[in-house]
Amino acid sequence: MTQAGVASARTSSEQLADIVPLVDDEQWESPSACKGWRVIDVIAHLAALAHEAVEPPTPDPSWPQVRERYHDMRVDERRGWNHREVIDEWRRYTPRQLELLEAGQKTPQADDPVPVAGLGTYPRHLLANTMAFNVLCHLRYDLLAPQGPLPFTVPAPTDELVAPAVEFMLAGVPQMQGHDLDAAVTEPLVLDLTGPGATTVTILPAEGGHAGLTVTPGALGSTQVHSSAADFICWGTTRTPWREHCEITGDAAVAEPFLDRLDII
């Protein structure tokens, strides 16, 4: 199970809770590093995710099918709220979201497949890692300097924080972009991620038909992409260019099409 995902999500949420009282009204209105969203909009996004986890809405066929546009819609619904209303929603629903994710670690429901619209299907226990990823990524790369506008600091990232977020990202690689990303991998490609959250995996090409990419542990190819795991969270979501963080050994022509197209949501 991914009990570590719950712990990571809880720690990042606590770190965000420590930052929130330090932010003034002008800073809440500042553009975040997440394109099109103010700082307060990032909190609105996390609040919306928590609210939906606790009180799932009835699906509406008119909702955007592209996950990023769906998130924009939810943020737009809250743009008329004042700062306190947005923060209160986040504070009210986040603890309950964590309780649900904790419950999702228990058998037999832990392995139940759960479809996440626009992102793929994941075992229930891995949903904790989605929160770990979301809160860590938005806090450290969209809100806080140097990428974000807020001049506050949090403790350095640890293995316990980063590893669950990276685990979710790697689980999403074969699902989130479909055949567009499949076409970018023609030979085994190794991702060698170092530092906190370190892991090494190989991305194997799709074998045809409806099969997609496969992510498997270990280094099974001669072309390798080397980066820190913490930086992978940044460049793997296209917040910064991969060329600023990655070293390729082997055949760059094998790695570059994948790196150019990868965009984890």
Q: What percent of the chain has pLDDT over 70?
A: 98
Q: What is the pLDDT of residues 207-246, one digit of tens each?
A: 865 578 999 999 999 999 999 999 999 999 999 999 999 9
Q: Domain residues of the chain, as ranges?
A: 3-160, 179-261
Hey, is 113 helix, strand or coil? strand
Q: What is the pLDDT of residues 127-186, one digit of tens each?
A: 999 999 999 999 999 999 999 999 999 999 999 999 999 999 999 999 988 788 999 999
Q: Is the pLDDT of residue 63 over 90?
A: no
Q: Is the pLDDT of residue 88 over 70?
A: yes
Q: For residue 2, name the pLDDT band (cuts at 50, 70, 90).
A: low
Beta bridge partners of 121: 115
Q: What percent of the chain has pLDDT over 90?
A: 85
Q: Is the pLDDT of residue 76 over 90?
A: yes
CA dihedral 123, 100, 71, 258 (to 10 degrees): -30
Tokens of 183: 């076409």
Alpha helices in the chain (DSSP H): 3-19, 25-28, 39-54, 67-77, 83-103, 127-137, 159-172, 179-182, 229-235, 252-261
CB within 8 Å of 27: residues ≥ 6 apart = 39, 149, 150
Q: Which CATH number fits domain 179-261: 3.30.1050.10, 3.30.70.1350, 3.40.50.300, 1.20.140.10?
A: 3.30.1050.10
The CA distance from 208 to 201, in Å, is: 21
Q: Is the pLDDT of residue 1 over 50?
A: no
- Give the helix, strand, coil percentages of the chain, each rounded to 5: 50, 15, 35
Q: Is residue 43 within 8 Å of residue 79, measured between CB atoms?
A: no
Global pTM reads: 0.94
**Which fold would CATH assign to domain 3-160?**
Four Helix Bundle (Hemerythrin (Met), subunit A) (1.20.120)
